Amino acid sequence: MALPALSLSLQFGALPDATPHRAALPRHFVTRCIRHALDSDAEITVRIVDTEEGRALNKDYRQKDYATNVLTFDYATEPTVMADLVLCAPVVALEAKDMKIPLAQHYAHLLVHGALHAQGWDHETSEADAQEMESLETEILAGLGWPDPYAKRR
């Protein structure tokens, strides 16, 4: 089965130290993570930002005054998925460190998570929806060679 086509724009904002994030996010890695999470062709921008930009976007669009790990702005799901995924590098790095996992592993999870949101998946609507989305993320990540990100909670 062929994977969906992906037109990807990968952007790095003004990060104080972008080196570890650029190393963890080569274009082929980002493309592979997202394509495995897609059900249809897509045009997606992935932007890696600092805490200030992440916090401003979360406050403006979700009315939550803190930087979060990933924000998904979905514009269309059919016939082509169109979305922006914004990942806050300092938050992702801190979470990876706290979980004692490689930065690339956490980015893989968040790219898959964001790509699913771009297609209409939502874990905040109900516990059943959250469990279904988590199971799908786990399945996709296993196919990419990554462990279950929710294993410690189960």
Binding residues: 113, 117, 123
Please state the length of the chain. 154
Measuring CA to CA, how many Å separate 98 from each of 57, 87, 94, 95, 129? 24, 17, 6, 5, 26
Is 85:9 a contact under the CB 8 Å cutoff? no
Binding-site residue set for Zn(2+): 113, 117, 123
Is 13:85 a contact under the CB 8 Å cutoff? no
First CA to last CA distance, the chain: 31
* CA within 13 Å, CB half, 14: 2
